[in-house]
Structure 1
Amino acid sequence: MAKLELIATATFGLESVVKREIEALGFKIIKSEDAKITYIGDERAIVTSNIWLRCADRVLLKMGEFKADSFEELFQQTKALPWETWITEDAKFTVTGTSVKSKLHSVPACQSIVKKAIVEKLKETYACEQFAETGAEYTIKVTILKDRVTITIDTSGAGLHKRGYRVKDVAAPIKETLASALVQLSFWKAGRLLVDPFCGSGTIAIEAAMLARNIAPGLQRKFAAEQWSGIEETLWKEERKKAFSAIDYNAEVRITASDINPTAIKAAMANAEEAGVDDCISFSVQPVAEVKATEQYGIMIGNPPYGERIGEKEEIQKIYKDLRKFFTENPTWSLYLVTSDKEFEPQFRKEAADRRRKLYNGRIETCYYQYYGDKPPKKQL
């Protein structure tokens, strides 16, 4: 199999989580930078990455990287890349782009030149003037930063947060990729009780259950690269079969998820069933004030309402008060809470959070506040 450079794109703040996931899959990382991790793989790595990466946004195939100060340089160096390796004679492809701090600052012009260069290369390769564009689809991206051009092909298609289990939705849902990261950045693991008192459509609870059961996030969906002739269909079948056999149905998973909104709970239950983890999660309609600690050393992970609409401030302050009461009464519990509300920390308690992490939920800047409770005693052998 060919040695390829792949790029996993990530939301700002989640690079370290995505990097760990890539390393866990056994791939060698070349470079980790803002919002993307570059690593070495092959055709099978494209398949494995798409099926297994929980917190990445997309998996891109890197076609080339070069310096270009002029449109002529951009054209010639793009044309020199091995497009015929991946793009077939009947393919349909679109070119998207960005340009930051570069001489070639007109994005539409750059997109047009890149497309023209690829078409010219394919004309020479396939000895034809017209292309049917009835075959597989390819999305090519040209990214120019400080006159450095990177050209990639998107292997994922729809973003990796689209797992396929979200059959019902509620207002302002948290992205699946971010929800999985929140769980992975906490100390929670199978065997400990996890509580989400603001569960909405159930994303955090579902992602936690999928992690605990080792259910691959991309098992229920299709990817753009599945249509490519450059990746054998057998690879997709083999990797999906491996992923199914890797599911741990015996994991001890105890998750409770609640919300004050009955419609949200109905949606969450439907989504959990679609994800195949409805037997792992206990759902209920209740406010935060009614959440009870049924045992010690539990972990609470939550994404409370941000209170950006008029009249919600008092409601949010009541939630913070209820949380403060719960954690004062249960010092062995840990809290992991993501919010855009910069007033949360002083309203929750006098002591600062043990750790804070800046994250983005879509385009909203949030902070992930982490308060560590007492560590559970080590089990006697």
Structure 2
Amino acid sequence: MKVLVAPDKFKGSLSAAEVASAVAAGLADARPAVVVETLPVADGGDGTVDAAVAAGFRRVRVPARGPTGEPVTASYAVRGDTAVVELAEASGLHRLPGPPAPLTATSAGTGDVVAAALAAGSGRIVLGVGGSACTDGGAGLLTALGARLLDSAGRELPPGGAALSRLAALDLSGLSGLSGADFELASDVDNPLHGPRGAAHVYGPQKGASRDDVETLDAALRHWASFAGAEVAERPGAGAAGGVGFAAMAVLGARMRPGIELLLDLLGFDAALADASLVVTGEGSLDEQTLSGKAPAGVARAAAAKGIPCVAVSGRCELSSVDLAAAGFSAAYALTDLEPDPARCLAEAAPLLRRLARRAALAHL
């Protein structure tokens, strides 16, 4: 009997690989004869590069600019001519050296990483978006690849979304190294670039934007779209990562696919699923967001398509049994079932998860 363990991270406590390791140990404790295969997964957000590396990609570290321009070391993952670039590696909220900078934060660092991958010979770029610190419409991404954004005096605009309101000319003639490159956007965000459901209104406050900042950024993004591709601005996903989705689709010709669907293909999930009798997935919190394209729901859906039962492990579970069944989960187990103190669940996540996996094994194997 084979069990495939394919979890996402437990944010704030364990990486996806650490979750998979703890679950595998617990399954082996209860059922030593069971063959356990681990495949950490991600949905395009934080942890995407780590998941790719765990699946056999090679990690490449490169210098890049952080959201406010400070130098950082970011990673991408490569196998063959495919590079997996995670926006949060350079342009994520966790990269901010201080308070949020909603008007001036830039996606230029993500462009630095993409440029490095292209220069190293990658012909296919999978761009995972999530956890972005910026709302610059992807302008920084494009400038790092050679685009020039000019004001009415012919001067280059400073970084950040607010400056886009002064854009007078967009020069794409400097984009280099893109010939023949194939860009895929891994995202589950369906928001347009601007408007009430746009990047600024929906996600700006999470990045420190005040009510006035939101209006400033939304107007600037609308102006930006009039230069870079107004017809793409309304497309679902254009608002992903503060508008990086827009720039990727409008200028780089990126195709958008649901993040977990794209990542499961990339990580070889179907091959790993062969001959499995049970799948174990999970993430830190099973809640309403899980049902909206998060990794565990994608894993459960893929397992169900092959007629294989799937159980979930998590730090906490806020879904009803009806919701779980509708999403394809046979059962769900939470650390809070064993330890009601959330602080201890975070501090002792690995040993608690091992115990939880033993419980799941006894019930399902």
Bigger fraction of residues in strand: 1
Q: Same fold (TM over 0.5)?
A: no
TM-score under structure 1 normalisation? Answer: 0.26
TM-score under structure 2 normalisation? Answer: 0.27
Bigger radius of gyration among the two: 1
Higher RCO, 1 or 2 (CA under 8 Å, sep at least 6)?
2
Bigger fraction of residues in helix: 2
